[in-house]
Amino acid sequence: MNDSVFLSELSWPEFATRIKAGQPVMLPLGATEQHGHHMAMNVDVVLPTAICERVAQRIGALVAPTLPFGNRSQPRTGGGRSFSGTLNLTAATHAAVVRDIVCELYRHGARRIVLVNGHYENIWSSVEGIELALDTLGRDPNDTLAILRIDHWDMVRPETIARVFPDGYPGIELEHASVIETSMMMALRPDLVDLSAAANDGPARFKPYDRYPAPPQGLPPSGVLSLTEGSTAEKGQWLLDDVVRGIEQAIREEFGLE
């Protein structure tokens, strides 16, 4: 018996059996994007994938393959187009991909679907993808379809944020490649983190508006929008514990799982 939570590691009959049994399906939404000098570009893939794996093991769910490309990075939240290696999808493309995956999962019998987002700019394109899927599938109140969309950082408790940032929280928009992501990566994949390479040239100081096509002034050359100083694996575990617990609780509540 294959007890993997990863959909792609199952045979099709095993997948069909587990979907028929009503197992929820989790879809991690990531990105391939610069994360400073000190981390790999797959941070937004590693984090939601690991979170989904842990939650799936607790509740008996499946994890679909992570979408490794995200809605295009913006200077004030991810550094934008200024850095080598960031691979962007347009919002329309990202929304269409999300729509298609949701519709395909539904076609195979999935009726409880959870999107777990790890890339800030995916927020509205993933919302649009869900709306497009519902436009396609219909919005019959008698249908058992239920979709959750969760940005993993929203599951961190205020008291944990206060522990991680005793001198004040800069806000999630400036936490790109900074303490939260760096600490979580140190807890999950320390082999992909090299704090000695961190430039510590932040924080970013943006104007309260956007200018195109040039990125706004105030973007640190390293691409880290806040600071990496203070990042630890211990803090990363605090954050991960909150996120996994929060997502598990939301799924159990919304889907009526014991």
Q: Are 62 and 6 in contact (CB under 8 A)?
A: yes
Q: Are 124 and 91 in contact (CB under 8 A)?
A: yes
From residue 249, give the alpha-carbon distance in Å to each of 81, 123, 236, 255, 256.
Answer: 37, 21, 20, 10, 10
Length of the chain: 258
**For the chain, give me the number of helices (H) and strands (E)?**
7, 6
Compute CA 94 distance to the chain's CA centroid, rounded to the nearest angstrom. Answer: 14
Bridge partners, residue 124, by sequence: none
Q: Are 67 and 29 in contact (CB under 8 A)?
A: yes
Angstrom distance (rounded) from CA 165 to CA 179: 9
DSSP tag of 229:
T
* Phi, psi of 141, deg, nearest 5: -65, -15
Residue numbers annotated as active site: 33, 35, 44, 119, 121, 176, 181
Nearest-CA neighbor of 233 among 180, 196, 197? 180
Using the structure block, give the residue that is written with the tokens 């919002």.
Answer: 91
Q: Are 148 and 115 in contact (CB under 8 A)?
A: yes
Both ends of the chain: CA-CA distance in Å? Answer: 24
